Structure 1
Amino acid sequence: MTRLDAYLNRIGIARPSELDAAGLLAVQAAHRQAIPFENIDVRLRQAIPTESQAVFDKLVTQRRGGFCFEHNRLLSDMLAAMGMANRVLLARVTFGDPPALPPLTHCLLLVTLPDGQRMIADGGFGGTYCPPLPLADGAEATSGDGARHRLTQIGAPGTLPGEWLLERMGPPETSDGRGRDHAAWEQQYAFELADTAPADLVMGSHFASTHPSARHVNCHVASRVLPDGFVSLLERQFSRYRAGHPVERREVADVAEYRDLLAREIGVDLPVETLDRLPLWAGAD
């Protein structure tokens, strides 16, 4: 079995018959619905891989999840294997209105389809889910959870916070806790189209997984995109949102319940002994 075959089996779809926007959408949606976003290794102070084979082994062979640098490394490699040329871009996450301009701690993909159309794709933004968008000022898309997404050109190349801004308007319940208002556009992240070197991705991943100010160093997040919603474990709070259904929320009582929800709802099956080492349980009765 090739790596691409194993990946397609992991995300549960056949290889797209057309290398077009619809095919890209199908792959990215299946990726996010099958492979969870989770920062368990960050919270356990384990190294986060950015090399292709190490990421493949973790997310596909071991059936784990990961954060943006892992997800988009894998998605980039697999799209390239299908014939969709792409490269990795770096972004500044402005979701949740940080008090200062954040560093380049997120990544996404610029995909060039065989017909020449350029699109952004993102298999690893844990805060929300955005379908692929054409790289065009004012481009919009609606995701299955009912949220709208908009891409705006906001500056010249090399200016801060970036040349392009991704925004979202939708149910706050379909976010990782940072979403606020259904009826207002909220910034997600800003980016530009500059080339990146492998060392840039290593540096961004290292900061995001080790710096004392980084979000993933300070909170526990595990989530999975649903075709019509979002399910998450944020600290000890479990929530599930599906369009047209009441939001389900509850506090997780202990590590045994956390393990059950993580395996059954998110798709990450780890032993209690591993999860019990998370800072989440420090000081718990």
Structure 2
Amino acid sequence: MNSAQVDAYLRRLGVARPRRATGGALCELHLRHLQTVPFENLSVHLGEEIVLEEKRLLDKVTAARRGGFCYELNGAFGALLAALGYEVELLAGRVYGEEGRLGIPYDHLALRVGTADGETWLADVGFGAHSHHPLAYAERGEQADPGGVFRVAEAGPDAAGARGGGEAAGAGDLDVLRDGRPQYRLETRPRVLADFAAGAWWHSTSPLSHFMRSLVCSRVTEDGGRITLSGRTLTTTGADGARGTRELDTDEEVLAVYRERFGIELSRVPTVRRRNPS
């Protein structure tokens, strides 16, 4: 990233350039990313190609003022952090599904981030409803966060099998848990962005992918709650857990919510592309 790209990204987040690559600055960047850059899969249903190249990701987040899913959001955020002086490594994860089953290889992308003050964090702005702040990478106890109580745990040989339907963990694998439930399993070997191309392709084309079966656009709100537009259903959740939903009747209402609540300008309302499993 060049200096102009960094400045454009920081303007999107609404934050000043940090003086040093500290843990405190990382926490602010992480939260502001969740508040301003939506987790969304609109490209899948608008017929837009998802390309895991740094410039394409940066252009989508800054120039187009869009969001994306994990590969795009954490890919772009990782590039920003590296340009700001953080040590960034991409980690591959597999998301826990029904009955403790793990998803495909390269199912998820998260970031291991080293700071100028010697700390190591697990940053993830691409998992939807997750931690608002980075998690201490080496901490194995509970970590309280506005998004829940999280824990980074060693994934033992029978960690998944004990939950039913899982797979034995690889050496050094980590499980990330939220409120006692496993969210995803991370490999600790660093990867490069191109390694995730097959995962991005599968999630954006396979009828077995949940991204192909539904529409989502979601972000953390300034009060610590969450707002989500799923198709025509608008859901708001307060920081206290109070939840409200309403159905949007017209295309104009849908486009207005994308524009006013998520900062996304669309020329047409995306609809789920129907495909039958082969």
Calculate the TM-score normalised by the size of structure 2: 0.85
Structure 1 residue 267, shift from structure 2 partner: 2.2
Corresponding residue number in structure 2 for 1:190: 185
Counterpart of 1:255 (choices 251, 254, 259) is 251
Corresponding residue number in structure 2 for 1:167: 177
Counterpart of 1:39 (choices 28, 38, 41) is 41
Letter in 2 for 1:200: D
Letter in 2 for 1:116: G
**1:223-262 alignment, distance < 5 Å:** 223-227=218-222, 228-244=224-240, 246-262=242-258
Structure 1 residue 280, shift from structure 2 partner: 7.6
Residue 62 in structure 1 maps to residue 55 in structure 2: no
**Distance in 1 of aligned mates of 2:101 and 2:149:** 26
**Distance in 1 of aligned mates of 2:226 and 2:69:** 16
For the structure 1 residues 142 and 16, does the alpha-carbon distance in structure 2 shift closer, same or farther, using more than 3 Å as the test?
A: farther
Structure 1 residue 92, shift from structure 2 partner: 0.8
The answer to whether the 8 A contact 1:91-1:191 is kept is: yes
The answer to whether the 8 A contact 2:20-2:85 is kept is: no
Long gaps (5+) in structure 2: 158-166
For the structure 1 residues 51 and 139, does the alpha-carbon distance in structure 2 shift closer, same or farther, using more than 3 Å as the test?
A: farther
Counterpart of 2:194 (choices 187, 199, 213) is 199
**1:95-114 alignment, distance < 5 Å:** 97=98, 100-103=101-104, 104-114=106-116
The answer to whether the 8 A contact 2:65-2:264 is kept is: yes
Corresponding residue number in structure 1 for 2:271: 278
Corresponding residue number in structure 2 for 1:215: 210
For residue 70 of structure 1, give the secondary structure of its aligned residue in structure 2: helix
The answer to whether the 8 A contact 2:34-2:132 is kept is: no
Give the fraction of aligned pairs with identical amino acids, expressed as a percent: 30
The answer to whether the 8 A contact 1:168-1:187 is kept is: yes
**1:124-163 alignment, distance < 5 Å:** 124-145=126-147, 147-155=148-156, 160=169, 163=173
Corresponding residue number in structure 2 for 1:174: none
Structure 1 residue 119, shift from structure 2 partner: 1.2
The answer to whether the 8 A contact 2:124-2:134 is kept is: yes
**Distance in 1 of aligned mates of 2:136 and 2:242:** 33
Q: Deviations over 1:158-188 (max 9, x none)?
A: 953771111112xxxxxxxxxxxxxxx2221
Structure 1 residue 219, shift from structure 2 partner: 0.7
Q: Deviations over 1:32-75 (max 9, x none)?
A: 11111111111123211210101111111111111111111111
**Distance in 2 of aligned mates of 1:131 and 1:124:** 12
For residue 190 of structure 1, give the secondary structure of its aligned residue in structure 2: strand
Corresponding residue number in structure 2 for 1:177: none
Aligned length: 260
Once superposed, what is the RMSD of the aligned Cα atoms?
2.3
**Distance in 1 of aligned mates of 2:146 and 2:129:** 15
For the structure 1 residues 57 and 2, does the alpha-carbon distance in structure 2 shift closer, same or farther, using more than 3 Å as the test?
A: same
The answer to whether the 8 A contact 1:119-1:134 is kept is: yes
Letter in 2 for 1:102: G
Residue 10 in structure 1 maps to residue 19 in structure 2: no
For the structure 1 residues 159 and 216, does the alpha-carbon distance in structure 2 shift closer, same or farther, using more than 3 Å as the test?
A: same
